[in-house]
């Protein structure tokens, strides 16, 4: 199986089809949309009409459909195979959710219609709030953050506003465990906080003694992920939260891994003051190649008054499901919103999909989902434990963490191992994260993988580990070989950035 990529006359390889850029195949005379002839009234542009061509290519509809179909076939996706990307929760995206978001009563809705004409949409937001508050035990929820990191910003700004309101704006330190997602320190810095790192212990948890030692009266909050990024539950979380509260500070819980405990544990019972929920992880909305997500942020009673606008409130006779809802867009009463996170009313289309999922699963289904997610991860940990090197003792929660000790002396790196998995038809696990173990391999199977799927993956991984130990390094260092492109030169991309197409120099010279 070694040797150069097989060559053909066309450059295509069977189903693997080459596809040029739209700019290399378009013709300005073509279009894929028939539009009526515009009228010829004198314009009212005040002399600001554009001059000269824009340079956009024109393609007919069949050419456009083929272009994007061919592009799509160059992607790996959860629809096509196992995607054990730790910390990212690549689970099945139910298609009912897509259908619901496309109902004209949801999709064709203007954000500034009179509120009497959008009561169903406000009811969706109200119902989703009830679900999120019920599942977390928290007091209030801000629905508008656009994604996880945006939700972090929401929670940390609420904390800053609450501290300012009680005259403790000089608390400027945020404790962040070293296993945290990189967004945590970035968010804290954006809120004007200084980050103080907290080491982990030998069990992969926050070192409670070091944590307590770092907790002084300059601390505003702790940002803690639970289950943490090693896939482990922070066993001392209640004591830790209590100590934070006793010190007059707040607990920000990063909800990236909420999918491990949903339907079983309420974060309010763990002492959280704020937590964002990655809707596109826990509640099954598609990742879409990098968004759109949604990051509703639940808040404790202490932070609820500072929730950003807008709010949705049940109001009037027969309030709630069958009655009236109101979108509050400006502060009123005793609200003290710290501001507005996003244009309009947040990621409504994503929230409809999430509600569709929650209603489908119900509280019993969500509990089963977190159970199966944890079961699947522990099955990976048990099945791979002999051939790979688990970083910590089990049980794990929804993801299993391995390091690269099993590759020591083989000349194969974690990256090489991941690329060999691609040739075997699997998406790699998350690599080199968390930073607390060497050459990390973080595997998150999710609850939507079958046992047969996990068995096939484990068999492949164990066989690859055996090959690595047997010195078959080319299988790894030359991988991937069976993909639309082999390893790409990232250094060149960064040193000489080419971020847009431009006509070839010969074509420019001819103009």
Partner 1 sequence: MRYLPLTDGDRRAMLARIGAASVDDLFRDVPDEALAAARFDDLPDHATEMAVERQLSALAARNRAAGAGPCFLGAGAYRHHVPAAVDHLIQRGEFLTAYTPYQPEVSQGTLQYLYEFQTQVALITGMEVANASMYDAATGVAEAAAMACRITRRKHVLLSGGLHPHYGDVTGTFLRYTDVAVERLAPDPLGVEDRMGRVTGETACVIVQNPDVFGRLADLSALARDCHAQGALLVVAVAEPVSLGLVTPPGAMGADIVVAEGHAIGSPLTFGGPGVGLFATRQKFLRHMPGRLSGETVDEDGRRGWVLTLSTREQHIRREKATSNICTNSGLIALAWTIHMTLLGEAGFTRLARLNHQAAVALVERLERVPGLTVVTPTFFNEVLVRLPGRDAAAVVETLAARGVLAGVPLARFWPTWPELADGLLICATETNTDADMDALVAALTEALQ
Residues 333-352 that bind partner 1 (CB under 8 A): 338-350, 352
| Position 116 contacts partner 1 (CB under 8 A) | yes
Q: CA nearest 2: which of 423, 453, 498?
A: 423
The interface region with partner 1, picked from 26-34, 211-219, 312-320, 463-471 by CB under 8 A, is 26-34
Q: Of 112 and 506, which has the nearer Cβ to partner 1? A: 112
Give ∠ CA 43-46-50 in degrees, rounded to 5.
75
The CA distance from 158 to 125, in Å, is: 21
| Position 166 contacts partner 1 (CB under 8 A) | no
- 8 Å CB contact between 481 and 423: yes
| Position 433 contacts partner 1 (CB under 8 A) | yes
Residue 216 Cβ vs partner 1, minimum distance, rounded to whole Å = 20
Name residues whose C-beta falls within 8 Å of residue 88's C-beta, 6 or more positions apart in sequence: 281, 287, 430, 444
Residue 409 Cβ vs partner 1, minimum distance, rounded to whole Å = 25
The CA distance from 400 to 390, in Å, is: 8
The interface region with partner 1, picked from 206-214, 297-305, 402-410, 444-452 by CB under 8 A, is 444-452
Q: Binding mask 79-108 vs partner 1 (x if CB under 8 A, - otherwise)? A: xx--x-x--x-x-xxx-x-xxxxxxxxxxx
| Position 13 contacts partner 1 (CB under 8 A) | no
Q: Of 96 and 470, which has the nearer Cβ to partner 1? A: 96
Q: Of 106 and 457, which has the nearer Cβ to partner 1? A: 106
- 8 Å CB contact between 219 and 249: yes
DSSP labels, 398-467 = S-EEEEGGGGTTTT--HHHHHHHHHHTT-PPPEES-STTSTT-EEE---TTS-HHHHHHHHHHHHHHHHH
Residue 471 Cβ vs partner 1, minimum distance, rounded to whole Å = 22
The CA distance from 402 to 416, in Å, is: 15
| Position 372 contacts partner 1 (CB under 8 A) | yes
String of b and e for 407-445 (b: at least 16 CB within 10 Å)? beebebbbbbbbbbbbbbebbbbbbbbbebbebbbbbbb
Q: Of 130 and 472, which has the nearer Cβ to partner 1? A: 130
On the 0-12 / 13-18 / 19+ scale of CB atoms within 10 A, 118 is buried
Per the listing, tokens 């949705």 go with 312
| Position 1 contacts partner 1 (CB under 8 A) | no
* Residue in 13, 17, 77, 335 binding partner 1, rule: CB under 8 A: 77
Q: Of 317 and 364, which has the nearer Cβ to partner 1? A: 364
* Residue in 413, 460, 473, 483 binding partner 1, rule: CB under 8 A: 483
Q: Binding mask 244-283 vs partner 1 (x if CB under 8 A, - otherwise)? A: -----------------x-xxxx--xx-------------
Q: Binding mask 209-238 vs partner 1 (x if CB under 8 A, - otherwise)? A: -----------------------xx-x-xx
The interface region with partner 1, picked from 72-80, 296-304, 312-320, 463-471 by CB under 8 A, is 72-80
The CA distance from 491 to 479, in Å, is: 18
| Position 508 contacts partner 1 (CB under 8 A) | no
Q: CA nearest 405: which of 421, 423, 422, 417?
A: 417
| Position 477 contacts partner 1 (CB under 8 A) | no
What does the block give as tokens for 327?
């979108």
Phi, psi of 407 (to 5 degrees): -100, 0
Contacts to partner 1 from residues 278-317, by CB under 8 A: 284, 286-294, 308-309
* Residue in 214, 314, 422, 462 binding partner 1, rule: CB under 8 A: 422
């Amino acid at each position: 199986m070694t040797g150069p990529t097989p060559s053909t006359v066309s450059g295509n390889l069977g189903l693997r089809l080459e596809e040029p850029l739209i700019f290399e195949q378009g013709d300005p005379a073509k279009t894929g949309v028939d539009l009526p002839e515009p009228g010829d009234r004198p314009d009212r542009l005040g002399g600001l009409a554009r001059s000269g061509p824009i340079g956009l290519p024109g393609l007919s509809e069949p050419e456009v459909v083929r272009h994007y179909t061919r592009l799509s076939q160059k992607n790996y996706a959860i629809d096509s195979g196992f995607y054990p990307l730790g910390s990212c929760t690549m689970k099945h995206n139910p298609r009912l959710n897509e259908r619901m978001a496309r109902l004209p009563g949801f999709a064709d809705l203007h954000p500034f219609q009179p509120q009497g004409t959008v009561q169903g949409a406000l009811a969706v937001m109200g119902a989703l709030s009830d679900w999120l508050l019920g599942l977390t035990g928290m007091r209030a929820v801000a629905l508008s953050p656009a994604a996880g990191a945006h939700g972090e910003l929401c929670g940390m700004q609420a904390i800053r506003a609450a501290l300012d309101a009680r005259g403790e704006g000089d608390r400027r330190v945020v404790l962040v465990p070293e296993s945290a997602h990189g967004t945590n320190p970035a968010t804290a810095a954006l809120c004007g906080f200084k980050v103080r790192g907290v080491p982990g212990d030998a069990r992969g948890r926050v070192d409670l003694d070091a944590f307590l030692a770092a907790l002084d009266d300059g601390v505003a909050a702790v940002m803690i992920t639970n289950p943490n990024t090693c896939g482990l539950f922070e066993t001392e979380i209640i004591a830790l939260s209590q100590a934070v509260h006793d010190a007059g500070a707040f607990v920000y819980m990063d909800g990236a891994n909420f999918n491990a405990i949903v339907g079983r544990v309420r974060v309010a019972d763990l002492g959280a003051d704020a937590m964002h929920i990655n809707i596109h992880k826990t509640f099954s909305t598609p990742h879409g190649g990098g968004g759109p997500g949604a990051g509703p942020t639940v808040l404790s009673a202490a932070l609820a008054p500072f929730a950003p606008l807008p709010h949705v409130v049940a109001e009037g006779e027969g309030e709630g499901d069958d009655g009236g809802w109101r979108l509050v867009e400006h502060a009123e009463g005793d609200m003290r919103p710290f501001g507005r996170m996003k244009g309009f009313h947040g990621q409504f289309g994503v929230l409809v999909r999430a509600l569709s999922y929650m209603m489908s699963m119900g509280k019993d289904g969500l509990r089963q989902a977190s159970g199966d997610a944890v079961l699947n991860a522990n099955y990976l940990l048990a099945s791979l434990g002999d051939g790979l090197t688990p970083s910590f003792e089990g049980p794990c929660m929804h993801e299993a963490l391995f390091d690269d000790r099993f590759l020591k002396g083989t000349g194969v790196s974690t990256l090489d191992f991941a690329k060999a998995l691609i040739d075997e038809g699997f998406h790699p696990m998350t690599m080199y994260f968390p930073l607390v173990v060497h050459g990390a391999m973080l595997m998150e199977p999710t609850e939507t993988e079958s046992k047969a799927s996990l068995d096939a993956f484990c068999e492949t991984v164990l066989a690859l580990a055996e090959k690595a130990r047997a010195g078959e390094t080319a299988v790894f260092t030359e991988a991937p070989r069976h993909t639309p492109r082999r390893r790409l030169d990232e250094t060149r991309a960064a040193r000489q950035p080419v971020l847009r197409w431009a006509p070839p120099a010969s074509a420019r010279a001819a103009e």
